[in-house]
C-alpha cells in the first residue's frame, strides 16, 4: 500500500474509502479479538488481487495479545511518522487500541493528501509536531472526509473514534456506499495473517 500511494501521489476519495474501509475492518476485527497491532502503517497492508481493490494485513509480528479487557501498554513500538502523541508524552502506560487508531488516521490522511500529516527530516522536530497534534487538511477534501480525519487524529486518546466507530462514519456511505459492499466478517477473518508471535517483541523502536 505504501508504494501504491506513493506512486499515485494521492488517492481519489472513492478509492481511498474502499481501501481504508478494509484496513479499518481488519484493525477492528483484531481489537475485538483482544489484539493490539502496534506499529501500524501502510507498509503492513498489501493487495490481494491484481485489480488492487482488496487489501490484507501482511503481518502480525508486532501485535500484542491482551490479557483481559485492559489494553494498557507501556512499551514504545512504532514508526516515527505514525506514532501517537501519548506514546511520546508518557513514561507510563497508554491505550494500545487508541494508539492503533491514531496510526489509522495517519494512514487515511496519507492516502487522501499524499503526505504525512506530521513530517520533518529531524526526528526531534517531527515528534514535537506530533505532540502538539496540529495539522492542516486541504480544502479540496470533502467535509465528511475532513470530519473523519479530525475525529481520528485527536490529541487526546479518549476523544478518538474507536476502530469500530470508524466503520460507522458517514463518509463511507457518501455516494460510494462502501459499508454495504459485501465486505463482511468472513472476509475480514480470511484476510488476516494467522501466525502471530505470542512473545512480546523485545526490540522496541524507541529506547
Between CA 176 and CA 174 the distance in angstroms is 6
User: What residues are labeled active site?
Assistant: 39
107 in a domain, yes or no? yes
Which contacts (CB < 8 Å, 24+ apart) does range 89-95 have? 89/131, 94/157, 95/71, 95/157
pLDDT at res. 195: 41
**3-state SS, residue 143:** helix
pLDDT at res. 46: 92
Between CA 161 and CA 153 the distance in angstroms is 9
User: Considering the entire predicted model, what is its pTM?
Assistant: 0.86
Between CA 116 and CA 204 the distance in angstroms is 22
83 in a domain, yes or no? yes
One pLDDT digit (tens) per residue for the chain, 207 residues: 888 888 888 999 999 999 999 999 999 999 999 999 999 999 999 988 888 889 999 988 889 999 999 999 988 888 899 999 999 987 789 999 999 999 999 999 999 999 999 999 999 999 999 999 999 999 999 999 999 999 999 999 999 999 999 999 999 987 766 654 444 445 555 554 334 443 333 333 333
Q: How many domains does the chain have?
A: 1
pLDDT at res. 8: 87
pLDDT at res. 177: 60
190 in a domain, yes or no? no
Look up the domain containing 13 and give its range: 1-64+74-171
pLDDT at res. 138: 96
160 in a domain, yes or no? yes
84 in a domain, yes or no? yes
16 in a domain, yes or no? yes
Backbone φ/ψ region at 56: left (φ over 0), alpha (ψ -120 to 50), beta: beta
Asked if 137 and 181 touch (Cβ cutoff 8 Å), the reply is no
Which CATH number goes with the domain that contains 104?
A: 1.10.510.10
Between CA 102 and CA 115 the distance in angstroms is 16
Amino acid at each position: 500500500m505504501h508504494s501504491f500511494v506513493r506512486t499515485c501521489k494521492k488517492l481519489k476519495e472513492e478509492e481511498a474509502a474502499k481501501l481504508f474501509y478494509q484496513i479499518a475492518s481488519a484493525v477492528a476485527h483484531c481489537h475485538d479479538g483482544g489484539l493490539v497491532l502496534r506499529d501500524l502503517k501502510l507498509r503492513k497492508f498489501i493487495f490481494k488481487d491484481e485489480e488492487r481493490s482488496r487489501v490484507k494485513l501482511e503481518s502480525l509480528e508486532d501485535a500484542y495479545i491482551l490479557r483481559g479487557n485492559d489494553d494498557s501498554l507501556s512499551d514504545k513500538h512504532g514508526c516515527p511518522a505514525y506514532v501517537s502523541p501519548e506514546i511520546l508524552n508518557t513514561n507510563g502506560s497508554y491505550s494500545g487500541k487508541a494508539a492503533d487508531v491514531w496510526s489509522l488516521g495517519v494512514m487515511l490522511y496519507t492516502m487522501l493528501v499524499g503526505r504525512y500529516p506530521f513530517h520533518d527530516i529531524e526526528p526531534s522536530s517531527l515528534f514535537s509536531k506530533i505532540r502538539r497534534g496540529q495539522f492542516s487538511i486541504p480544502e479540496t477534501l470533502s467535509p465528511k472526509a475532513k470530519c473523519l480525519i479530525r475525529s481520528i487524529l485527536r490529541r487526546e486518546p479518549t476523544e478518538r473514534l474507536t476502530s469500530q466507530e470508524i466503520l460507522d462514519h458517514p463518509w463511507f456511505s457518501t455516494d460510494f456506499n462502501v459499508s454495504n459492499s459485501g465486505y463482511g466478517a468472513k472476509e475480514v477473518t480470511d484476510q488476516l495473517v494467522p501466525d502471530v508471535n505470542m512473545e512480546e517483541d523485545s526490540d522496541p523502536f524507541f529506547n
